[in-house]
Amino acid sequence: MTVNSLFFLLFLAGVFFMYYVLCPLRFRWIVLLAASILFYALASAASPIYMLVTSVSIWGAGILMERLSEKEKRRKAEKTADPAFLKKNRRMQRWLLAAAAVPSIGILLALKYSGFFVGLFRPLAGLFGISLSVPKILAPLGISFYTLIAYGYLLDVYKSRVHAQKNFAKLLLFLVYFPQMTQGPMNRYKPMSEQLYEGHRFEYRNFSYGFQRMLWGCFKKFVIADRFHPVVQKIFANYQQSSSWVCILGCIYMTVWMYADFSGYMDIVAGASELFGIHIMENFCQPFFSKSLAEFWRRWHISLSSWFRDFVFYPLALSRPATKFGKKGRKWFGVRIGKLFPSLFALFFVWFATGFWHEPSWRYILWGVANGVIIMGAMILEPVFKRGKKFFHIREDSWYWNAFSAARTFAIVCLLKVFPGPASTMDSLKFIGKLFTDFRRPVWLGELLPGITKGDAVFLFCALLLWMIVDLIQEKQSVRDLLARQNIVVRWAIYLLLVTVILCKGLFNTSMAGGFAYAQY
C-alpha cells in the first residue's frame, strides 16, 4: 500500500474510526499496531516474516544488553566490579549487538547489496571459470529505513540512552508504525515511545493540523512532483540528444522534483500521524534556503543525517584510529588542520556510507563522496573564505550575501545530480562530459520542458511559485499557526481552493504499491 493512493485514505479513515470510536483509551496503541501490521502485509506478502524475525532479535538483544548493563551498575555500586568483569561484560554486550545485526543488517545486505558485491568479484571468478549470479528476490518495503530505525534503537539501548522495551508488542509498534514505514523518517525510540503507547483523546487541533498538512503534501506530490517526473525522466533518458543547457535544467528539475516528492510524502504521513496526536520527526526544514552544503544536509532528510551523525560520525571521530590520524595530521599539516583530521576521517566514511545506503552502485557512491569532499573542502578552506570576505568587505548578515550563498548551495546540490540522475555509472560519466561539450541553443519549451504542454508549463510555474512563497513564510513563522489565526471563512476558502486544484490538476495513483522516489531506497 502506498500513501498516495485512494486505498490509503480509506485505510486511514478506518483506523481513525477504530482508534477514537471503538477502542478504549488504554488499548488504542493496539489499534495502531494492528493497522501497521496490516499496512505492511498489504505491501508485500513476505514482509511480515522479515519483520517478525528481525523484531524478535532486536527485542531479545535489547533486554539482554540492559540486564548486563544493570548487573554492571550493581557491581560498581557494591564495589565488586573488577577490570576483568567489566571487560567481559562489555564484550558480551558487543557480541549481542553484533548478533542482533545478523538478521536485520544481514537480510538487508543479502537482498539489497548482494548484486553489487557479486559484481565486484565476478571478473575474478571468471578467471577460474566460475559463474556468479544473484537470484532476484523482492526486498521488503522500506527495508533500509526499517533497518536503521531498528538498529538505532538497539544502539541507544547499548549506550544506555533508553531502557529496553520489555513488551514485544510495544516494541513492534515502534518499529513498524505505518506512517514511518515506507520512507521514514527514522524516528528515535525515546520521543516516539512517549507518544505511541498512551491513548490520545480526539482533539480538533490535531485533526485540523493533520488535515492541513496532508492536504499540502498531496498538493506537492500530485500537482507538482507527479507532473514534473515525466519531464525529468525524458531529459535523462535522452541526454545524448540534448544540449548542455537542457542537461543542466535536468539536474535542476530533478532536485525540485525529489524535494516535492519526498517532502510531499513526509507531509502526508506526518499529517496522518498527527490525526492520532502523534508527532513524528521532521525531515525537512526549507533546505533550499541553506547557505552551505553542510547546512543543506542539516535541513534535508534530517532523520537520516542525524542517524549517521550520532551512530557513525561521532563514534568514528572519537575512535582510536581517528585520534592517531589527528596526531599525524598535526605533525604533517599544522595544529589547525590536524584538529580537523578526526572529523575529516569520519566524514569520508559517513558520506561513502550515505551514498551506498541510497543505492549499491558506483554512481551513488560517487555522489556521496562528492558531497563529502565539498563539505570537507569548505572546512579546510574556511580561514581563506573568511579572509576573502573581509578583503571584499562582505557582511555575512547582509541580504545579498545570504541570497548569493543560497543560490550557490542550490547550484551545487543540483549539479551533484549528475551522478544519480542518469541510469548507470557509465551514463553519469557521459552526462558530465555532455555538460562541457554541447552548448548549442535549445529549442524553446519542446526541449526545455519535454512532454508537457504550454498550459501545463504555466500552471506548473504558478504551483512552484506558490510553494516557494509558502516556504518563505515558513522560514519566518509557522504557516499553520498563521492560518489558524484567520477567520473560518478564509481558512475554509483556502482548503476548498487547494482541494479543487488537487482534484482538477493532480495526477493520482490507483496502485497499492510504489509511487514515491525514495520508496526504492
What is the DSSP track for 289-357?
G-SSHHHHHHHBSHHHHHHHIIIIIHHHHTSHHHHHHHHHHHHHH-HHHHHHHHHHHHHHHHHHHHHHH
In terms of domains, do 471 and 404 share one? no
Q: Does 494 lie in the same domain as 413?
A: no
In a domain, 63, yes or no: yes
- Return the top range by mean pLDDT from 32-46, 66-80, 245-259: 245-259
pLDDT in tens, 249-298: 999 999 999 999 999 999 999 999 999 999 999 999 999 999 999 999 99
Sign, Cα dihedral of 486, 488, 490, 496: positive
Name the strand (E) or helix (H) holding 437: none
Tell which wins on pLDDT, 295 or 75: 295
pLDDT at 142 over 90: no
Average model confidence (pLDDT) for the chain? 88
Q: Do 345 and 327 fall into the same domain?
A: yes
Average pLDDT for 123-139: 69
**Quick check: is 177 in a domain?**
yes
Q: Residue 514 — pLDDT band, cuts 50, 70, 90?
A: low
169 and 240 fall within a common domain: no
Amino acid at 126: G
What domain range includes position 306? 301-419
> With b meaning 16 or more CB within 10 Å and e meaning fewer, what string describes 295-324?
bbbebbbbbbbbbbebbbbeebbeeeebee
Does 48 score more than 50 pLDDT? Answer: yes
Q: Is residue 192 part of a domain?
A: yes
Of the listed ranges 221-230, 399-408, 449-458, the least confidently predicted one is 449-458
Any bridge partners for residue 509, and if so which? Answer: 5
Q: How big is the chain, counted in residues?
A: 521
Domain-located, residue 237: yes
Residue 478 has pLDDT above 70, yes or no: yes
Which residues, listed in sequence order, are joined to residue 284 by a DSSP beta bridge? 300
Same domain, 400 and 447: no
Average pLDDT over residues 422-441: 88
Assess contact for 419 and 428: CB atoms under 8 A.
yes
Q: How many domains does the chain have?
A: 3
Question: Do 22 and 158 share a structural domain?
Answer: yes
Same domain, 97 and 156: yes
A 10 A CB-CB count for 454 gives: 10
Q: Does the pLDDT value for residue 517 go beyond 80?
A: no
With 0-12 / 13-18 / 19 or more C-beta atoms within 10 angstroms meaning exposed / middle / buried, residue 286 is middle
Residue 41: what pLDDT?
Answer: 82
DSSP state letter for 520: G
| pLDDT confidence bin for 76, thresholds 50/70/90 | confident
Question: Which residues are CB-neighbours of 283 under 8 A, at least 6 positions away?
Answer: 184, 185, 262, 263, 266, 301, 302, 303
Give the rounded percent of residues in the chain with a pLDDT score beyond 70: 93
Tell whether 136 and 56 lie within a shared domain: yes
pLDDT at position 513 is 47
Yes or no: say if 179 and 270 are a contact pair by the CB < 8 Å rule: yes
pLDDT at 168: 96
Q: Are residues 247 and 306 in the same domain?
A: no
pLDDT at residue 1, rounded to an integer: 66
Per-residue pLDDT band at 138 (split at 50, 70, 90) = low
Q: Name the domain boundary from 184, 202, 220.
A: 202
User: How far is the CA of 391 from the CAs of 386, 398, 404, in angstroms?
Assistant: 9, 16, 17
Distance in angstroms (rounded) separating the CA atoms of residues 344 and 382: 14
Residue 144 phi, psi dihedral angles, 5° rounding: -65, -40
Mean pLDDT of 145-174: 94
pLDDT value of position 264: 94
Of 169, 202, 235, which marks where a domain is finished?
Answer: 202
Range with the lowest mean pLDDT among 115-129, 206-220, 225-239, 361-375?
Answer: 115-129
Residue 444 confidence (pLDDT):
64
| Cα–Cα distance for residue pair 133/450, rounded to 1 Å | 38
Q: Does the structure show a pLDDT above 60 at 512?
A: no
Evaluate whether residue 289 is within a structural domain. Answer: no
**More confident of the two residues 433 and 126:** 433
pLDDT at 420 over 80: yes
CA distance 409 to 471: 17
CA angle 206, 210, 216 (to 5 degrees): 150
Supply the pLDDT for residue 260. 95
Q: Say which DSSP state 46 is in.
A: T
| Residue 260 within a domain | yes
Grade residue 335 by pLDDT with cuts at 50, 70 and 90: confident
Looking at the structure, do residues 447 and 508 belong to the same domain, yes or no?
yes
Please check whether residue 520 lies inside any domain of the structure.
no
Please state, in angstroms and rounded to a whole number, the distance separating the CA atoms of residues 173 and 32.
7
pLDDT at 250: 94
**Top-ranked range on mean pLDDT: pick from 2-6, 178-182, 405-409, 495-499:** 405-409
Cell numbers at residue 272, please? 496522518
Site of grid cell 508485500: 44
- Together in a domain, 44 and 104: yes
Q: Note the pLDDT of residue 101.
A: 84
| pLDDT exceeds cutoff 90 at 485 | no
CB atoms within 10 A of CB 422: 22
In a domain, 345, yes or no: yes
> Are 197 and 228 members of one domain?
no
pLDDT at res. 275: 96
